[in-house]
Amino acid sequence: MVTRAALQKRIRQARGVDPADCVLKDCRLIDVCCGEIVRTDVAICDDRIAGTGNYSGVQEIDCKGAYICPGFMEGHIHIESSMLSPKQFARAVLPHGTTTVVCDPHEIANVAGIAGINFILEESSDLLCRFYLMAPSCVPATHLETSGAFLGSGEIEQILKSPRVIGIAEMMNFPGVLFEDDEVLKKLILSEKMDIPMDGHAPGLGGKDLQAYIGCRIMSDHECTTAEEASEKLRSGMFLFIREGSTAKNLSALLPVVTRKNSHRCLLVTDDCHPHDLVIEGHLDRILRKAIKLGLDPITAIQMVTINVANYFNLNDRGAVVPGYRADLVLFDDLADIRPKLVFSGGQEVAVENSSKNIDKKKFANKYPEVFDSVHVETKTISFSIPARAKCARVVRVLKDQLITEEVELPVKIVDGMAVADPENDIIKMAVVERHKATGNIGLGFVQGFGLQRGALASTVGHDSHNITVIGVDDRDMMLAVETIVGHGGGLAVVVDGRVLASLPLPIGGLMSAADALEVSAGFSSLLQAAAGLGGFLADPFMHMSFLSLSVIPHLKMTDLGLVDVDTFQHVGLWV
């Protein structure tokens, strides 16, 4: 809360009676309110913009005509996908111009419930990159899998009491909306009663079902994959979150939908972003560069990661370079190729030339055992054997750069009455092992599209309930891969011929590391290199693996309870 003295100081500096604390001289300001570029100075008082115009300051920085715009704002991300703790994620994205992040802690919530959310809140409480949370609406996402926690409407109402929880996250259970599930309706009523945004998640939904979904005050969608779908949702009043993440890349397909008349209803988001991409390519600046290269007006693109985000989430103190707003600022030289060279957060210079500074050094809170002890599996009870019941099986086919999978019916290889991997036809085994409650549940089947010729890959990152996902050609290698990550308390592993080629421990909920982005990226790069050596042809097989169990994305998925036909929202048999 601003004090009287602070407000008086801001007034005097804005009027030019006193010199500003800091003045960025000779900038080309991206005016996101009017869509213009203005040559001006930007005056900073404490953590706020004092004014724009001709100013003098105690500190003056000659920007020499550099462009300046508001700090970038991420409107939808699961930071767990970065495999970084909140502190390390902030450290990674600040040099790329991101000063505000709205995240959905859905992943850690599925593992550790309210304790997981409180961990994210506490660890991000005083970072220079400001974190806001959306209360996860679907924990578990469906009844078709075993989750580590349950969050009902009562728990969500409790979570929303935190001032940095500003809405309800993506309502993935769109069948639950359409078929009037009682608990889902309670969450919808809570959103309307509190007058807070509720994000959507409705891939492929259209027609009257879409009208019913939106009519429950579900305001956005980030799952569009075609221009037709995006147009229908925009016309029906939704905000369009255009996703360009590490796996799902929808920018090229959806950008033609964006016009000057509707761009104020559009945001650019990542949803999921692996550490390798953060280190090598960047964050929102990466999406901006690609969008501009594809023909989007640069000012419009910047609006889609600043003022549009602020307006949607009612973050009314940021998103523009205007008096009274937070002094979250990004300076860069080339409007056609945006690469931040100086970043301010709350008036502090926090990053320069792709390196962060003044990063919080606080240690992790140690009072969340649910977060740091989250893998409970009796590996001795696991078997990956699949008795053959027929000649053909339902096989999950992965699609490059998409979360959507296909269902294909294919003949499987049978040896001595057992169905086995058939790498010659790119059909390998997949399994999802329950890891929260040591139930012994295991879903078994086959997957196509990885190109694996030998060995196995395993991961405790498996959306949404984050059970263990393992794929492989050899049962023994699959077992060793699972044993390896269980021993790490969570993580990723590549195994071949009884040897662990590479592994990456993720002891925070089986999802995140306490190491910095460079270290995690290096470890992940080693995993990718090892996986590629097994004959795989996907650039990031682990990201694709993590979505094999996502039972709210069409069409065929696998959970610890078996195969799921997402279109009918029910389990189906392996054999056909």
Sheet (strand 386-387) strand order: 386-387, 418-420, 413-415
Q: Which residues contact 265 (CB under 8 A, 6 or more apart)?
A: 234, 238, 239, 240, 308
Q: What pLDDT does residue 356 have? A: 66
Residue 361's CB: how many other CB atoms inside 10 A?
Answer: 6
| Cα distance between residue 33 and residue 319, in whole Å | 9
What tokens appear for 456 in the block? 């196995």
Q: Where are the domains of the chain?
A: 4-65, 69-356, 373-571
Q: Please report which residue ranges of 448-568 form alpha helices under DSSP H.
A: 475-487, 517-532, 541-546
Domains 4-65 and 69-356 share a fold: no
Judge whether 503 and 483 are in contact, CB under 8 Å.
Answer: no
**DSSP calls for 539-563:** S-HHHHHHTTT-TTSSSEEEETTEE
CA-atom Rg of the chain in angstroms: 24
pLDDT of residue 324: 97
The model carries a pTM of 0.92
* Residue 492 bridge partners (DSSP): 459, 504
Condensed to tens digits (0 to 9), the pLDDT of residues 126-138 reads: 899 999 999 999 9
Q: Which residues contact 233 (CB under 8 A, 6 or more apart)?
A: 210, 214, 221, 224, 240
CA distance linking residue 88 with residue 364, whole number of Å: 11
Dihedral (CA of 292, 294, 300, 306) sign: negative
CA–CA distance, 172 with 184 (Å, rounded to integer): 10
Regions in the chain scoring below 50 on pLDDT: 361-362
Q: Which long-range contacts (CB under 8 A, 24 or more apart) does 478-481 make?
A: 478/384, 478/429, 478/431, 479/379, 479/382, 479/384, 480/456, 481/456, 481/457
Pick the CATH number of 69-356 from 3.20.20.140, 3.40.1390.10, 3.40.50.720, 3.40.50.1110: 3.20.20.140
Q: Give me the sheet containing 165-171, strands edge to edge.
A: 72-77, 98-103, 130-135, 165-171, 198-200
Q: Would you say 14 and 50 are in contact if contact means Cβ atoms under 8 Å apart?
A: yes
CB 433 within 8 A of CB 442: yes
Q: What is the pLDDT at residue 188?
A: 97
In this prediction, what percent of the chain has a pLDDT beyond 70? 98
The backbone torsions φ and ψ at residue 349, rounded to the nearest 5 degrees and listed phi first, read -75, 115
pLDDT of residue 468: 98
Domain spanning 4-65: CATH superfamily: Urease, subunit C, domain 1 (2.30.40.10)
The sheet carrying 239-243 orders its strands as 220-221, 239-243, 266-269
pLDDT tens-digit profile of 477-529? 999 999 999 999 999 999 999 999 999 999 999 999 999 999 999 999 999 99
Q: What pLDDT score was predicted for residue 354?
A: 62
Q: How far is CA 113 from CA 96, 118, 508, 567, in A?
A: 31, 9, 13, 28
Q: How far apart are CA 77 and CA 103, in angstroms?
A: 5
Please report the pLDDT score of residue 366 as a whole number: 66
